[in-house]
Amino acid sequence: DTAVSQTPKYLVTQMGNDKSIKCEQNLGHDTMYWYKQDSKKFLKIMFSYNNKELIINETVPNRFSPKSPDKAHLNLHINSLELGDSAVYFCASSDRGQTEAFFGQGTRLTVV
């Protein structure tokens, strides 16, 4: 039973399109995150939601809009996709204190 699952696993799309990535966790955690792993494999935080409230919004273009319908789900919508958005996007969850973070398997986004 997958703890953090995200869909789709692969996404190939043309520049200018709008796409969404979905994430769900069944761990009962109160905080969910989106991370971006660039071509150099470096992972960086994008957003974090705690109990459906946005608490971290790093310097990310406003074409990226996260949405959390409930504390078990965090989706990422990207408008007007650009070539530079190509990366692997990871969803993660934890409790906001000192607990272990768990990651999904990633969504490889390729913009052509």
Partner 1 sequence: KQEVTQIPAALSVPEGENLVLNCSFTDSAIYNLQWFRQDPGKGLTSLLLIQSSQREQTSGRLNASLDKSSGRSTLYIAASQPGDSATYLCAVRPTDSWGKLQFGAGTQVVVTP
**Which residues lie near partner 1 (CB under 8 A)?**
31, 33, 35, 40-45, 48, 50, 55-56, 90, 92, 94-106, 108
Residue 10 or 80 with smaller CB distance to partner 1 = 10
Two structure tokens written together for 41: 């494999």
Amino acid symbol at 19: K
Q: What angle do CA 15, 19, 104 make, to 5 degrees?
A: 120
Residue 10 or 82 with smaller CB distance to partner 1 = 10
Shortest reach from residue 102's CB to partner 1, in Å: 6
DSSP state of 100: P
Q: Which residues of 20-41 are buried (b: 16+ CB within 10 A; e: fewer)?
A: ebbbbbeeebbbbbbbbeeeee
Residue 63 or 96 with smaller CB distance to partner 1 = 96
Residue 56 or 72 with smaller CB distance to partner 1 = 56
Shortest reach from residue 31's CB to partner 1, in Å: 5
Shortest reach from residue 109's CB to partner 1, in Å: 14
- Cα 104 from Cα 6, distance rounded (Å): 6
